[in-house]
Amino acid sequence: MPEANDFLTAADEGAIVEAIQQAEKNTSGEIRVHIENTSQKPPLERAQEVFSVLGMEATTARNGVLFYVGVKDRAFAIIGDEGIDKAVENDFWDCTKDVVIGHFKENRFKQGLVEGILRAGERLKTYFPYADDDKNELPDTISKG
């Protein structure tokens, strides 16, 4: 398994950032991707920690979404802030997670993240539609730990 820094090529990372920007054209939601080698914590718990470290709860509508990848652990989680959790059904992220994991199992990491991000944007637009005065409240870049 590659290291976090070798997990995606520069072109792959560019495609993922483009997917984030495309998804955010559909929704006021804010999407981030975080990649790290390993964590001592379960993926969901670590994703919540990273969410906080990245300051993702600072969005006005509390509608940030984090795609978390633990490369060596082969771990993945997707979480949304409390504004999303209050608005959507309990299994809201399941189909998006399944799409990403399906690609990951075939070592198509970029494709999994791109499709998952675009799907998240589509799903979020129902609850958090894009408005003309929306501001990009969080960076679209991939964070690494």
Helix (H) or strand (E) holding 68: strand 64-70
pLDDT tens by residue, 67-124: 999 999 999 999 999 999 898 888 889 999 999 999 999 999 999 999 999 999 998 9
pTM: 0.95
Strand partners, 36: 70
Set out the domains of the chain in order of their start, with CATH numbers.
4-144 (3.10.310.50)
Of 25, 50, 45, which is closest to residue 117 (Cα–Cα)?
25
